[in-house]
A and B are shown apart, each in its own frame.
Chain A
Amino acid sequence: MDQNDNIDETKMLRDIEGRLGVFGRERGSLIPILQMIQEKYQYLPKGALEIVGRHLEIPSAEVFGVATFYNQFRFHPPGRHPIKVCLGTACHVRGGDIILENFERKLEIKEGETTPDQEFSIEKVACIGCCALAPVALVGETVHGGMAPSKVEGLVLRIEVEKEMRQRAGKKEQDG
């Protein structure tokens, strides 16, 4: 497993290196480059920061300093079903933190973490612009409005069931 990860990472870094060509070497390219990497891989691998530093001819510490400043950048891959709970103003007054807590309790991870099986991760976000539906949570790209603790249960369950069905279907195919 570990070895596999290493191979993947080497491949990934090589791919990233290849994509840097279109970016200029001026400092102003730094954030667009980091955004490109994150868009492609959902996070910024440590090695990538070094590559970017070399491309822009700045110490990788500088890259690290900039990347850690912004909320957008992650340093670990998110789960397959990233859950984002809105804690914008409207959602807060309608109990967004209770929704967050319920996800945390249900999945047994804290905000900012990923489940050990890499299925779920929880993040908080500020207003996603559907305050009238508050409280709101995003699962993947889908917005779920009017959230309630019991809906949390249902959502997680549905994803787990779907996964199981997929696995079973996959198995059948293999068997058949």
Chain B
Amino acid sequence: MIFINVDEKKISCEEGRTLLDVCLENGIYIPNLCHVKGMQTPPASCRMCMVAIDGEKKPAMACTTRVRENMTVMTDTPEIRHLQRTALRLLLSVHDIDCKNCSANKHCELQNLSRFLKVGLKAAPYATLLKETAIDRTHPCLDYYPNRCLLCGKCIHVCRQKNGQSVFTFARRGFKTVISTFGFDNPDVFCGECLACVEICPVGALVVRKDAVNSNQKEEDT
């Protein structure tokens, strides 16, 4: 057991755990989108979980920082909040903000974050840049909404955890990156049953298609 100091609160924790896990367990909320508890190698891609650590010049990511004895952490400096708000606005600038028609309305991480960071659900001053394809229907039973997706990668992670291999992958690069299920052809994955991806998606980017057939059944049918 070691002690760390977060926002002037003394917390005891096990050495070697991630700062994010420890804070969340102790009721100190740090915004986060791409972290799944217990991940071996966190992707650290959403860049939301920034904190200021005493003695370090640059903000650190809580999900990749391991706790050390006596470390002093601030989660609520103006600098940190400013960067988090910028990140949120950037995410919103590529997001089709249409909450009324979204399956995730009221349990959406973006809505939560905007409330927590006290900014509106707006991209301004950044212009809105949406992708051309609104819905990707190549998967037999899931609809994918590129303009809702945050590219957090959690769906890839849970699918791999549950099924050994993931139906999903990142495809393309840079600004054009999307989640893809190209040539969904893996008979070992009984897709359409576990729906872990739909559940873990922090927004409404993966939606079970109404008329969907279980891909497994489809296999038997043909």
Contact = CB atoms under 8 A, between A and B. Distances in A.
Q: Which of B166, B167, B171 has the most CB of A within 10 A?
A: B171
Contacts of A60: 182-183, 185
Interface of B: 165-173, 180-186
Nearest to A47: B183
A49 B165 contact: no
Given A50-B183, A64-B180, A69 B173 contact: yes
Interface residues of A, number: 14
Given A59-B165, A59-B166, A64 B185 contact: no
B173 A61 contact: no
Nearest to B178: A68
A70 to B, nearest CB: 8
A98 interface: no
Nearest to A54: B185
B172 A61 contact: no
Contacts of A46: 183
A64 B183 contact: yes
Contacts of A50: 183, 185
A68 B168 contact: no
A40 to B, nearest CB: 21
Interface of A: 46, 49-50, 53, 58-62, 64-65, 68-70
B166 A68 contact: no
Contacts of A58: 165
Given A49-B182, A50-B183, A65-B182, A59 B167 contact: yes
A65 B170 contact: yes
Contacts of B185: 50, 53, 59-60
A143 to B, nearest CB: 28
Given A58-B165, A61-B180, A61-B181, A68 B171 contact: yes
A58 B186 CA distance: 9
A64 B173 contact: no
Which 4 A-B pairs rank lowest in CB-CB distance, beginning with the nearest?
A65-B169, A64-B182, A60-B183, A61-B182
Q: Counting chain B CB atoms within 10 Å of each CB, which of A46, A50, A60, A68 scores highest?
A: A68
A65 B186 CA distance: 15
Contacts of A59: 165-167, 169, 183, 185-186
